Amino acid sequence: MSHRHDDNVTLNDIGLNDIGPVRPALPSRRRFLQVLAGTAGALIVGIRLAEATDVPVPPALLGDTLYGLGAYVRIDADGNVLIGARDPDTGTGTATALPRIIADELDADWARVSVVQLGLGVENGNGEPRWIYGHQTGGLGDSIPAAWNDLRQAGALARWLLMQAAARRLGVPADRLRTQAGWVIAPDGRRFDYGSLADAASKVAPPQNAVPVKTPDRYTLIGQPAGDVDARAIVTGQAAFAIDSTYGDTLVAVLLHCPWADGSLVSKDFTDAEAVKGVVKVVELKPEPGLLPGDTVLAPSVAVLAEDTWSALQGRAKLKLEWKAGPSGGENSAALEQQANDLVNDKNAVPSTRVRNDGDVDAAGKKAARRVEAVYVQPWLAHATAEPMNCLARVDKERATLVVPTQAPQHAWAVVQRLTGFKPDQIDIRVPRVGGGYGRRLDHDFVAEAVMLAKLADKPVRLLWTREEDFGHDYYRSSSVHKLSATLDRKRQIVSWDQRMASASALAQRHVPDSRLWTSEVDANQLPAGLVPNYRSDWYSLQSAIPRGPHRGMPHVSNAFAVESFVDEIAHALKEDPLTTRLRLIGEPRTIPLQSGGSLDTGRLINVLKLVADRIEWKNWLRTVNGLGIACWHINGTYVAHAVEASMQGEKLNIERVVCAVDVGRVINPTGLEGQVAGATLDALSSALNLAITFKDGQPQQRSYKDYPLATLAQLPDNVEVITVPSDRDPAGASFLAMPTAAPALANAVFRVSAVRVRRLPLMKELRRLL
Amino acid sequence: MAQAQALATHPTSNITPEKVREGIELEINGRQFRHTGDADMPLLWYLRDVLRLTGTKYGGEHGLGGADLVLVNNKAVSAITLPMHQVSGKKVTTVEGLAAVDGKLHPLQQAFVDEDAIGCGYCTPGWLIASLDLLNRHPHPGDNEIEQLPNLCRCGCQTRVRRAIKRAAAAIDGGRA
């Protein structure tokens, strides 16, 4: 098995331009399978999903699910199998997991499977884009569920066709045949390999009904560990990221952005920069408002175009520019925090969103035996992707070809379309492996810049943001202040919970189609909603002109830190073991409906809590010299708990042990899942320990890893013990599930070992201040 | 007679003898290269832009984070902090030069694959170079030595890298035995 990127693969490249007539099968209402007779006796299978005319549902209700030919599998006469991976892989493992879902249904021999990373699949549907691969976003935790819903059919259909072909050849009914690792096997032991059947299978009439998918007892790859399909290419330096891509006649572009995204250029002198050997052109980029979807801000800049990166950087150093601040120029993080503090403490402040209001918090509070209150402050954060923003753009008369490190190729397409006016299929978005996303690559400011520059230069342009630009022009995660207030009755039950959060919304400046879960910075279903009879959650909008955007695990990360630290504080006020407090708060195993649909299964939540407690030997909580801390959370039907053991030597904090339990339904690839869970745990710990962006006069004060010190090996635990709950439920995404609980579990352990309650992040700075 | 005399005279030539070629010579992954451009160009851009050896990644102007590490005379150095005139006559190894000519992975590369010590993969070449440098100095690195690695990774591959280094150390040992 290997992974072919070649950064350039489209349907045409695999021979689909030579296909015979398309023969739609007739399965379920919104799902059509296609068999395509390829060249040279190959069998090619795709899925056609939900044509508006095929279903009795108005197109408007289908949204953008007007799919054409979807994800596919190709079996060649030599028995090699090629499977397309449609979602960008930002390190989340989808390029491995998605093809394995298809390969399992096909009963393919994984050793003979090549994975090909698909570019954006778009057709021209009367001037509107038709997304032919369906789901194509990465890092939002929905790649696996989407694949489970539609990709299995591609494998199942291909297998069915091969069995029909074998049945004819053997004169045996197909239902007496079985398949195994690339073979169709008859009861008498005769067998045909898939390659020898591919040609015949491509001529079999497709089934009248949907082909049943496998029952779980017959899975061969699903649930089995598999290494990353790109591993070999990565360790040999052959894996091409967008930043590694180029054309022969390409110019390199580097930028100097206006220090304020909403500022402007006052004076400029390009003379010295233009005189640098190798510099070809220096241009000012003045983005018009409305260029990016949802009025997302795009900073003005000056670009130096040169024959190579070194010349471009030298030219950039010689630019003489004077910038004028916009409204954000007056902003400071300390003042923004004060504003947030005022909002959560002002009893008369009207919330921007009343996220949830169960029972009567005020009335219940008056009768309470005791009240616990605390305020938590969390900083601005940057994305700090390993691969900085970059883009290769070639814009010819009738075609735009881009290599983009993106999590959302469809959004990148929209930006290119706006700038070129091209028809949908004149825009070719290619997505190689992506060097980290964490939400930064849902925005495409750098794509707009690359396209503008390619048009101006009339040559392909390879845009590179320096690390300083990358830190300085992020769509940051906003800081926040949480004020939590709970009242308890004499039986130690929490009878009311009042949460007030103030932050600058990530979504204020942009249009976001799925408003159901992202109406504000708080999930209406987050703990302990549904568990406390009188529960109120208010969100206050912090007014800021600093650009903000989605950030890994948002909004759960900041909310879980406040809530799960606060539960620990309640336990302390009750003078009891915080696990006991949590279990009493959660109560009996039952299901509680979520406002977003679905339900909270308290049994599954209790289970992950108990798993980490057992593993870390929570029974020693009182006795151990080290501190034990615990936290749990749920996100859309997935469950996570962390337990952390910490010790301190003077001011030095040691994270001795970290245990994480997750319940994500069926696990597709245990190796991949463990990597995601351990990785998210370390990422969350790194953020919580060290990281903060501060603003002075609207400018971020951190511009390199020196100022924004991601944790090194020495600061991180030696190991993350990952426990996965076995499950037959449909699989869910896990790319950020382990983010929310790691930091509060650590802070709770720190409290236990040091008696210092950290209510402000980053933790190390606050801990040193308080010790 | 007159003709023979003319032949004996050495003819004048327009061709001037070749001067000693200018440039910086260095060895990269066992092959000789001569850089004739700007002597101040950092090694990173020479590798990536001139030679198109893109396995060594750009991480930032100051070389923090370790994505741009290469071995220079067997020691790990950030390639963006090294101007070409400083690598004159030296031996450079990049991630592309770790595997054997027949494609067999270096034990360290194999260990990274076996431990799936990979997040997005962008910083992996840098981790490999730093780890190789570590194993050169400490064939049996303990946790304290491993924790000296300067590399950064937001995907959180650190615990798996730690395992991979130990696995590689054991494999190299086994190979020697």
Does residue A147 or residue A62 have the better pLDDT?
Answer: A147
User: Does A69 fall in a domain?
Assistant: yes
Q: Which of B29, B95, B108, B158 to mutate to test the interface with A (most CBs of A within 10 A)?
A: B158
The reply to whether B93 touches chain A by the CB within 8 Å rule is: no
Do A494 and A522 lie in one domain? The reply is: yes
Order across the sheet with B91-93: list the strands. Answer: B31-35, B24-28, B91-93, B69-72, B75-78
Do A305 and A366 lie in one domain? The reply is: no
Do A364 and A445 lie in one domain? The reply is: no
List the single residue in B with minimal CA-CA distance to A711.
Answer: B152
Chain B residues whose CB is inside 8 A of the A680 CB are: 156
Alpha-carbon distance of A146 to A143, in angstroms, equals 5
Do A357 and A294 lie in one domain? The reply is: no
Query: Is residue B118 scored above 90 in pLDDT?
Result: yes
pLDDT at A535: 98
Strands (E), A396-448: 400-403, 427-430
The reply to whether B58 touches chain A by the CB within 8 Å rule is: yes
Does residue A516 or residue A671 have the better pLDDT?
Answer: A671
Does residue A367 or residue A339 have the better pLDDT?
Answer: A339
Q: What's the DSSP call for residue A615?
A: H
Do A634 and A699 lie in one domain? The reply is: yes
The reply to whether A43 touches chain B by the CB within 8 Å rule is: no
A110, A103 contact by CB (below 8 A):
yes
Alpha-carbon distance of A141 to A146, in angstroms, equals 10
Do A437 and A586 lie in one domain? The reply is: no
The reply to whether B120 touches chain A by the CB within 8 Å rule is: yes
The reply to whether B57 touches chain A by the CB within 8 Å rule is: yes
Query: Is residue A30 scored above 60 in pLDDT?
Result: no
The reply to whether A244 touches chain B by the CB within 8 Å rule is: yes
Do B113 and B170 lie in one domain? The reply is: yes
Query: Is residue A269 scored above 50 in pLDDT?
Result: yes
Percent of chain A past pLDDT 90, that is, above it, reads: 75
List the single residue in B with minimal CA-CA distance to A384.
Answer: B154
Chain A residues whose CB is inside 8 A of the B114 CB are: 227
Q: How far is A166 from chain B (nearest CA, A)?
A: 37
Type and span of the H or E element at A723: strand A721-724
Asked if B60 lies within 8 A of A464 by C-beta distance, the reply is no
The reply to whether B59 touches chain A by the CB within 8 Å rule is: yes
User: Does B14 fall in a domain?
Assistant: no
Instruction: Give the domain-ending residue among A210, A235, A260.
Output: A235
* Mean pLDDT on B59-80: 96
Strands (E), A527-637: 534-541, 591-593, 599-601, 627-635
Instruction: Give the domain-ending residue among A178, A203, A235.
Output: A235
User: Does B140 fall in a domain?
Assistant: yes
Size of interface A-B (CB pairs under 8 A): 180
* Nearest Cβ partner for A467 among B61, B113, B153: B61
Asked if B156 lies within 8 A of A681 by C-beta distance, the reply is yes
Q: How far is A404 from chain B (nearest CA, A)?
A: 15
Give this complex's ipTM.
0.92
Percent of chain A past pLDDT 70, that is, above it, reads: 89
Confidence band for B9, pLDDT divided at 50, 70 and 90: low
pLDDT at A123: 84
* Mean pLDDT on B135-149: 97
Do B114 and B169 lie in one domain? The reply is: yes
Alpha-carbon distance of B35 to B47, in angstroms, equals 11
How confident is the prediction for chain A on average, in pLDDT?
Answer: 89
A135, A514 contact by CB (below 8 A):
no
Counting beta carbons within 10 angstroms of the beta carbon of residue A739, is it exposed (0 to 12), middle (13 to 18) or buried (19 or more)?
buried
Q: How far is A217 from chain B (nearest CA, A)?
A: 27
The reply to whether A249 touches chain B by the CB within 8 Å rule is: no
* Mean pLDDT on A381-389: 98
Look at chain B and count its residues.
177
pLDDT tens per residue across span A312-337 = 999 999 999 999 999 999 999 999 99
User: Does A469 fall in a domain?
Assistant: no
The CATH number linked to B166 is: 1.10.150.120
* Mean pLDDT on A203-214: 83
* Nearest Cβ partner for A710 among B55, B61, B154: B154
Query: Is residue A6 scored above 60 in pLDDT?
Result: no
pLDDT at A267: 98
Query: Is residue B19 scored above 80 in pLDDT?
Result: no
Asked if A238 lies within 8 A of B55 by C-beta distance, the reply is yes
Alpha-carbon distance of A691 to A740, in angstroms, equals 15
The reply to whether A243 touches chain B by the CB within 8 Å rule is: yes
* Nearest Cβ partner for A90 among B99, B109, B120: B120
Do B88 and B123 lie in one domain? The reply is: no
Do A69 and A102 lie in one domain? The reply is: yes
Alpha-carbon distance of A501 to A426, in angstroms, equals 45
* Mean pLDDT on A458-470: 97
User: Does B126 fall in a domain?
Assistant: yes
The reply to whether A746 touches chain B by the CB within 8 Å rule is: no
The reply to whether B109 touches chain A by the CB within 8 Å rule is: yes
List the single residue in B with minimal CA-CA distance to A436.
Answer: B120
Strands (E), A99-190: 113-117, 122-125, 128-131, 178-180, 183-185
* Mean pLDDT on B159-176: 93
Q: Two tokens at A559?
A: 């909310």
The reply to whether A381 touches chain B by the CB within 8 Å rule is: no
Asked if B38 lies within 8 A of A277 by C-beta distance, the reply is yes
User: Does B2 fall in a domain?
Assistant: no
Domain count for chain B = 2
Quick check: helix, strand or coil at residue A266?
A: strand
Do A111 and A195 lie in one domain? The reply is: yes
Q: Two tokens at A392?
A: 């290769």
Do A404 and A536 lie in one domain? The reply is: no
* Nearest Cβ partner for B120 among A91, A678, A713: A91
Do B80 and B137 lie in one domain? The reply is: no
pLDDT at B15: 77
Asked if B121 lies within 8 A of A91 by C-beta distance, the reply is yes
Q: Two tokens at B169?
A: 């150390």
Instruction: Give the domain-ending residue among A464, A496, A514.
Output: A464
Alpha-carbon distance of A653 to A651, in angstroms, equals 6
Instruction: Give the domain-ending residue among B46, B68, B95.
Output: B95
Q: Which of B38, B96, B116, B127 to mutate to test the interface with A (most CBs of A within 10 A)?
A: B116
Quick check: helix, strand or coil at residue A231?
A: helix
| Domain that includes residue B151, residue range | 98-177
Chain A residues whose CB is inside 8 A of the B112 CB are: 231, 235
User: Does B67 fall in a domain?
Assistant: yes
Beta-carbon contacts of B124 under 8 Å, excluding residues fewer than 6 positions away, are A234, A235, B112, B117, B118, B157
pLDDT at A673: 97
Query: Is residue A49 scored above 60 in pLDDT?
Result: no
* Nearest Cβ partner for B159 among A388, A466, A682: A682
User: Does A644 fall in a domain?
Assistant: yes
Do B76 and B123 lie in one domain? The reply is: no
Q: How far is B30 from chain A (nearest CA, A)?
A: 16
Do B130 and B151 lie in one domain? The reply is: yes
Query: Is residue B58 scored above 70 in pLDDT?
Result: yes
pLDDT at A2: 52
Q: Two tokens at A245?
A: 């891509």
User: Does B90 fall in a domain?
Assistant: yes
Q: Strands A178-180 and A183-185, how do they pair?
A: antiparallel
pLDDT tens per residue across span A186-202 = 999 999 999 999 989 88
A154, A71 contact by CB (below 8 A):
yes
Confidence band for A55, pLDDT divided at 50, 70 and 90: very low
Which of A408, A166, A146, A459 lies closest to A292 in space, CA to CA? A408
pLDDT at A509: 56
The reply to whether A704 touches chain B by the CB within 8 Å rule is: yes
Query: Is residue B138 scored above 90 in pLDDT?
Result: yes
Asked if B94 lies within 8 A of A277 by C-beta distance, the reply is no
The reply to whether A312 touches chain B by the CB within 8 Å rule is: no
* Nearest Cβ partner for A384 among B57, B94, B154: B154
Asked if B149 lies within 8 A of A680 by C-beta distance, the reply is no
| Domain that includes residue A181, residue range | 2-235
Do A716 and A590 lie in one domain? The reply is: yes
Whole-Å CA distances, A56 to A60, A67, A208, A337: 12, 16, 19, 52
Order across the sheet with A480-488: list the strands. Answer: A353-358, A534-541, A494-503, A480-488, A370-378
Q: Two tokens at B111?
A: 């260990």
pTM of the predicted structure, to 2 decimals? 0.92
pLDDT at A33: 53
Percent of chain B past pLDDT 90, that is, above it, reads: 85
pLDDT at B88: 97
Do A252 and A212 lie in one domain? The reply is: no
A427, A454 contact by CB (below 8 A):
no
Do B139 and B150 lie in one domain? The reply is: yes
Alpha-carbon distance of A609 to A601, in angstroms, equals 13
pLDDT at A508: 63
User: Does A470 fall in a domain?
Assistant: no
Do B153 and B165 lie in one domain? The reply is: yes
Instruction: Give the domain-ending residue among B80, B95, B110.
Output: B95
* Mean pLDDT on A283-304: 86
The reply to whether B42 touches chain A by the CB within 8 Å rule is: yes
* Mean pLDDT on A533-560: 93
Asked if B121 lies within 8 A of A718 by C-beta distance, the reply is no
Instruction: Give the domain-ending residue among B33, B65, B95.
Output: B95
User: Does B116 fall in a domain?
Assistant: yes
Do B72 and B117 lie in one domain? The reply is: no
Beta-carbon contacts of A596 under 8 Å, excluding residues fewer than 6 positions away, are A516, A517, A523, A524, A525, A636
Query: Is residue A637 scored above 80 in pLDDT?
Result: yes
151-170 in B: which are within 8 Å (CB) of A? 151-162
* Mean pLDDT on A291-296: 74
Strands (E), A571-718: 591-593, 599-601, 627-635, 638-649, 652-663, 695-696, 699-700
Do B166 and B108 lie in one domain? The reply is: yes
Q: How far is B89 from chain A (nearest CA, A)?
A: 22
A358, A534 contact by CB (below 8 A):
yes
Do A178 and A255 lie in one domain? The reply is: no
User: Does B47 fall in a domain?
Assistant: yes
Domain count for chain A = 3
Do B87 and B106 lie in one domain? The reply is: no
Q: What's the DSSP call for residue A511?
A: -
pLDDT at A4: 46
Asked if B45 lies within 8 A of A308 by C-beta distance, the reply is yes
Query: Is residue A452 scored above 50 in pLDDT?
Result: yes
Chain B residues whose CB is inside 8 A of the A705 CB are: 59-60, 62, 64-65, 152
Most confident of A79-83, A537-541, A639-643: A639-643
Chain A residues whose CB is inside 8 A of the B148 CB are: 714
Q: How many CB atoms lie within 10 A of CB A376?
A: 24
List the single residue in A with minimal CA-CA distance to B101.
Answer: A236
User: Does A471 fall in a domain?
Assistant: no
pLDDT at A357: 96
Q: Which of A245, A249, A277, A310 to mutate to test the interface with B (most CBs of B within 10 A)?
A: A310
* Mean pLDDT on A630-656: 96
* Mean pLDDT on A700-713: 97
The CATH number linked to B32 is: 3.10.20.30
The CATH number linked to A601 is: 3.30.365.10
* Nearest Cβ partner for A436 among B113, B154, B158: B154
Order across the sheet with A721-724: list the strands. Answer: A627-635, A638-649, A652-663, A721-724
The reply to whether B31 touches chain A by the CB within 8 Å rule is: no
Do B111 and B162 lie in one domain? The reply is: yes
pLDDT at A496: 98
